[in-house]
Structure 1
């Protein structure tokens, strides 16, 4: 069993019922979440030995966050305690033509106070096969930006495969700040999640114009990224057609060795919870790469994992590999007996 490391913030999420707004609801649901933590849990469900690097407060909320990880099979030996608070965020569920709304309350959270000296990456990366982090983590503080860069460099020194998800959040930092940081990270990245807008606005790649189809445009951007960063072996993203807040169409893309592979298009109707769908997709991609599957199989599996995530509440997916494989080969809506 290979050792996988993820690094990021664990948050407490509060969300409304569908059809209720934050300022009117008298009932709210709580879940733990966070991009890298969601990926960690999915990979643990797929049978990997996954460790989560983070910092939580030394109080009941921090203890509950740690329990959440352990309950879902994630190792917490590298979880630090301290700081003043656990970051939170609020989700006002969307429905029909009304989009979901997210409000963050994570400033001065415990992880934002994590310093490079607090983490022994040499010990952490010893024996590790994969390291995953996203662009959310370096946006939380200057020290975390420094720590993420150091961790990617150190991972490469230890021969660890590195995975970086752009996950740009405009509420956390500007495009210019993110672009400068990401361009320092990418020389140390093997697997990268980014889309067309990331390529254009964060990497400065000139657009192709409107003459190419969507698939050809994405292949062009990925080709340009690999020319800029030949160390990147895999690039991936999803195409999402938003019919309404409740109905989407999802298709997965993965690019390697100069070829773009795509999954079939999945209609998702009556979505329960879209949050975490991208993390489920990322985990499916990483799982397939770790298992050395064919690119077509990776794209199909990762997209199916994301589709299933949309059917349950909360940030993380709790489906196993066998359940996702069964879903791929089962008629939608059919009772499994």
Structure 2
């Protein structure tokens, strides 16, 4: 499917202790490259879309390694700017059972955080594009990135490109007040909003009635969240994965989608987690593919739930499942039996 999809954001070096070790006990780290928007681009490329990832990377071996990593999975890197001093990184301690995962960022003054508007030729980038995906992470990196993100969604609208935005609130990057101020402006140009209960509440104060800490998820309450986002920002569609966390190793996983008239819910999966990072991004990539390929709402949530559940069985940020593998789960049993 040769439809052009553009994503924009930061790719980082992720450093994770092996075998679920804690930071204080490990003497080595596994290196993984990933980031929300890069993860979405890889999923889109896996499904046959013409996926472009836009960012800024330093002219050093780490920047080149990050560029090579997305390129090896078929993502196009034509619009990646080069320059700046450093590649952002973060440390991720993988949780297990009752022990939560923990993330420590080291991304201040990264190349993308200090990028300027003139690093990106949006007229060229959006030429012949059909879909543009951003998240609430990119504008949280710096005031410059807030400005560039807003500029990008305005330009996408000029080119009649469908814009999706995953709110992805990150309390370690900015405050609720900052998020509300910036994301309110971004959302004026968004067609499809992805927001779980926590993102909607932390960014815009919209509550679903779910108790995230206890795992009590109010699915019908999410419909009201989606309706409020539609009413406030005139978006066409709101969706999300909803995670019931029994512990760090076992989650129930379901996807919902609402277009102002029809509210649909996917099959619910019990997920035994290998790596939860990138699960939501896998849903975003699946949603983009589903909508561009003409799937209806129910087909979209089934494909999205299957893709994002499967991703959490794979180490790393990227979803390495093929279109055929996702469709096999979305359309049939998910027993996990050995294929012979």
**Fold in common (TM above 0.5):** yes
Whole-Å Cα distance in 2 between the matches of residues 209 and 61 of structure 1?
A: 41
Q: Is the 8 A contact 1:219 1:259 kept in 2?
A: no
Q: CA deviation at 1:195?
A: 2.4
For 1:276, the equivalent position in structure 2 comes to 278
Query: With structure 1 as the length reference, what TM-score do the two structures score?
Result: 0.95
> Where does 1:52-201 land on structure 2 (aligned, <5 Å)?
52-201=53-202
Decide whether aligned partners of structure 1 residues 24 and 179 sit closer, same or farther in structure 2, where only a CA change above 3 A counts. Answer: same
Secondary structure of the residue aligned to 1:62 is helix
> Where does 1:204-215 land on structure 2 (aligned, <5 Å)?
204-205=205-206, 214-215=218-219
Whole-Å Cα distance in 2 between the matches of residues 307 and 222 of structure 1?
A: 22
Q: 4+ runs of 1 displaced by more than 4 Å?
A: 206-210
CA deviations 1:17-45 (Å, max 9, x no partner) are 23411121123211100000000000000
Whole-Å Cα distance in 2 between the matches of residues 148 and 81 of structure 1?
A: 18
Q: Is the 8 A contact 1:18 1:95 kept in 2?
A: no
For 1:18, the equivalent position in structure 2 comes to 19
Secondary structure of the residue aligned to 2:81 is strand
Of 317, 332, 336 in structure 2, the residue corresponding to residue 333 of structure 1 is: 336
Q: Is the 8 A contact 2:169 2:202 kept in 1?
A: no
CA deviations 1:229-281 (Å, max 9, x no partner) are 22x11111111111111111101111114221111110012x11111111111
Decide whether aligned partners of structure 1 residues 314 and 206 sit closer, same or farther in structure 2, where only a CA change above 3 A counts. Answer: closer
Whole-Å Cα distance in 1 between the matches of residues 199 and 152 of structure 2?
A: 22
For 1:320, the equivalent position in structure 2 comes to 322
For 1:30, the equivalent position in structure 2 comes to 31
Secondary structure of the residue aligned to 1:104 is strand
Residue 225 of structure 1 pairs with residue 229 of structure 2: yes
Q: CA deviation at 1:207?
A: 6.2
Residue 256 of structure 1 pairs with residue 292 of structure 2: no
Q: Is the 8 A contact 2:209 2:218 kept in 1?
A: no
Whole-Å Cα distance in 1 between the matches of residues 210 and 318 of structure 2?
A: 37
Secondary structure of the residue aligned to 1:188 is coil
Q: Is the 8 A contact 1:18 1:94 kept in 2?
A: no
Whole-Å Cα distance in 1 between the matches of residues 208 and 316 of structure 2?
A: 36
Residue 290 of structure 1 pairs with residue 292 of structure 2: yes
Whole-Å Cα distance in 1 between the matches of residues 123 and 293 of structure 2?
A: 25
Of 213, 225, 238 in structure 2, the residue corresponding to residue 235 of structure 1 is: 238
Alignment root-mean-square deviation, CA? 1.7
Secondary structure of the residue aligned to 1:182 is helix
Q: CA deviation at 1:206?
A: 6.4
CA deviations 1:87-115 (Å, max 9, x no partner) are 00111111110011111110111111110
Query: With structure 2 as the length reference, what TM-score do the two structures score?
Result: 0.95
Q: Which runs of 5+ in 2 are unaligned?
A: 212-216
Whole-Å Cα distance in 1 between the matches of residues 206 and 17 of structure 2?
A: 39
Whole-Å Cα distance in 2 between the matches of residues 306 and 17 of structure 1?
A: 23
Whole-Å Cα distance in 2 between the matches of residues 71 and 166 of structure 1?
A: 28
Whole-Å Cα distance in 2 between the matches of residues 6 and 197 of structure 1?
A: 23
Secondary structure of the residue aligned to 1:18 is helix
CA deviations 1:147-195 (Å, max 9, x no partner) are 1001000000011000111011000000010011111111100011112
